[in-house]
Chain A
């Protein structure tokens, strides 16, 4: 099964739409609740990152036998130093993002904690791509 979502940068009211939709699908196909929580939290963090930092983004979800693959691609400023961005507490988020309850520099490490495999590639002034894999067992 495959699903695609588009996200507008800066549009905080829509962050969470993809994760919410995916959560309902995973429930329907009988994935274990604790696993669903990990998957949707990883995706939600990624959605918030797009809204907070990028101009626009796309999410491609592939539910395969035994695992789920989430590909998150954005057009935006990119990440200069991925290792630094993975550190808890490092953030370039705006004041507006912080007022929304985010921007504490915890997103990427929380995505990593909730996934079995996380790959990040980024080009400054072009964008960032995340591939998240979570196994169903």
Chain B
């Protein structure tokens, strides 16, 4: 008999992610994405090559293009690390596309480590 539970990934809510990474939720409280995997990158070109769904993007690149990249990639949740400033334009774009924006003072490495420990899976 194979142990299928070994591969079962429990989806995490944004509230759980916010609690674990000490993040503020800036918008999208009513979106409720189910997060199972995360990808950390400041290079949007790499994000645009991903083929997975239900992915959380952890990045230190805070600009409108990070939002656009997420929009095209069907990523509904972005966590900005290193306390990067999130502008009103970014929040407006996220609201328009039903996306969650979170912000933490922790580094990308620390944020990723905490979420990995809590059961969020890598894409590769």
Contacts and interface: CB of A to CB of B under 8 A. Distances in A.
Interface magnitude class on chain B: 20 to 34
Interface in A79-108: 100-104, 106-107
A74 interface: no
Interface string A35-58: 001001100110010000000000
Q: Determine the main DSSP class of A at the interface with B.
A: helix
A101 B65 contact: yes
Nearest to B71: A20
A12 interface: yes
Contacts of B66: 101
Contacts of B48: 41, 44-45, 106, 110
Interface residues of A, number: 23
Interface of B: 42-46, 48-49, 61, 63-66, 68-69, 71-74, 89, 97
Q: Which 3 A-B pairs have the closest CB atoms?
A: A16-B68, A101-B44, A106-B45
Given A19-B72, A48-B65, A113-B49, 16 more contacts: A12-B63, A13-B64, A16-B65, A16-B68, A16-B71, A20-B68, A23-B72, A37-B73, A37-B74, A44-B69, A44-B72, A101-B44, A101-B63, A106-B45, A107-B45, A110-B48
